[in-house]
Amino acid sequence: MISVTQALTVLQVLKVFKEILVIPVHKAIKVTQVLKVISVIQVRKVILDIQVLKVILDIQVLKATKVIQVHKVLQVIQVLMVLQVIQVLKEIQDLDLILQKFIHQ
């Protein structure tokens, strides 16, 4: 099962690679910089995923009598996921700006 953010990231990487194929060789250094930005996004995403997993593990540790508490934690997870999507979208916009700058140079 692939998450929304993973799908967005994969789509963005594919989009970047498609545009890289059009770029002349002398712009290869700038392409590498964009790829570094992509890998930073991946690392941030993994860190966020780990944080969400920790929260899920905390839920499993809670006793069955703490259903209300679990519900609150689930709300926190939903907020985390929304923030994660917003973060990825923001970084995709940043990437688009970087790409536009050196594609038009």
pLDDT, mean of each 10-residue run, the chain (105 residues) = 67 65 58 69 74 70 60 74 78 77 70
Q: What is the pLDDT of residue 95?
A: 77
Full-model pTM:
0.31
Q: What is the pLDDT of residue 43?
A: 72
Length of the chain in terms of residues written: 105
Q: What is the pLDDT of residue 70?
A: 64
In degrees rounded to 5, what are phi and psi of residue 65?
-75, -10
What does the domain layout of the chain look like in residue ranges?
A: 4-103
Burial 31-50 (b: 16+ CB within 10 A, else e): beebeebbeebeeebeebee
